[in-house]
Amino acid sequence: MKNPLENPWQTAALGVVLTVVLAWGLTFMLCMPAPAPRPMENVLAAEFILRWLHFLFGFVWIGLLYYFNLVQVPSMPKIGAEAKAELFKEGSLVRTALFFFRWAAVGTVLVGLLLMYFNSKGAIIGPAFMLRGPFAGIGLGGYLGIIMMFNVWYFIWPNQKKVLGIVEATPEEKAKAGRIALLASRTNFMLSIPMLFFMESAAHGFQSMLGVSC
C-alpha cells in the first residue's frame, strides 16, 4: 500500500480526519477549570502588535508550506535536470523560499509563546498547555505548531541542504535526504490543517460550535 503522504491530496484528507479526531478528544477538556479569557476591549497596543506579527509570520510560513506541497514538489518531475540545477543554486527561487520558510516558522512560534505570556502575565500558559478550559484549543494549536517547527529544523532543512548541494552528499544520500524532507514536509502539511483549525476556532466559538455546555 502506497504511503498517503506521497500524495498531497491524500495528506490533506488525513489532516481533515485528524482535525475531527482531535476536536472530539478536546471536548472532554473544555470544561476543566481554567482562568476566564480576558475581554477583548482590554487588549493593549503591544499585545495587538504581537498578534499581528504572529499572523504575519504564520501566513508566510504556512503559505510557503502549501506552495512547496501543492505547487513546487508536484511540478519538479516535469522540470529538466538543467533547469532544476538552476533552481537549486545560491540565491535561487528554492533557496530563497526555504530561507523565509524556516525563519518564519521560528518567528511564528516564538511570537506566539511571547503573546501567550504577555496576554495575562503568564497566567494562561499553564492551562493552555495542559489543554484545560477555554484555552485548550489554543494550547493544542500551539503544540502542533511547535512540532511543525521542530520538523522544519530537525528534518526538512538538514536534509534539504544535502539535496541542494549545500552539504556534500552522494547521489544515494541525496535521494534518501529528499524522501525524508518530503515526508517531513507532508507531515507538516497534514498537521497544519488541525493547527489552523484550533488556532482560529479558539477565539471564534469552538466550544459552542461543538455544543459543549459547562
Domain that residue 64 falls in: 45-209
pTM, to two decimals: 0.85
Question: Is the pLDDT score of 150 beyond 60?
Answer: yes
Number of domains into which the chain is organized: 1
> Does residue 39 form part of some domain?
no
> Does residue 6 form part of some domain?
no
> Does residue 96 form part of some domain?
yes
Q: What are the angstrom distances between the C-alpha of 207 and each of 17, 91, 138?
A: 19, 46, 12
| Per-residue pLDDT reduced to its tens digit, 89-139 | 877 888 999 999 999 999 999 998 888 777 655 556 666 666 777 677 788
Which pLDDT belongs to residue 48? 80
DSSP symbols for 178-193:
HHHHHHHHHHHHHHHH
> Does residue 25 form part of some domain?
no
> Does residue 31 form part of some domain?
no
Which pLDDT belongs to residue 42? 54
> Does residue 3 sit in helix, strand or coil?
coil
> Does residue 147 form part of some domain?
yes
Q: Please give the single-letter amino acid code of residue 41.
A: E
Average pLDDT over every residue of 144-172: 94
Question: What confidence tier does 85 reach under pLDDT thresholds 50, 70, 90?
Answer: confident
> Does residue 191 form part of some domain?
yes
Question: Is the pLDDT score of 84 beyond 90?
Answer: no
> Does residue 155 form part of some domain?
yes
Provide the b/e sequence for 128-145 (b: ≥16 CB within 10 Å): bbebbbbbbbbbbbbbbb
Compute the mean pLDDT over every residue in the chain, rounded to the nearest whole number: 83
Question: Is the pLDDT score of 27 beyond 80?
Answer: no
- What share of the chain in percent tops pLDDT 70? 79
| Per-residue pLDDT reduced to its tens digit, 113-122 | 888 777 655 5
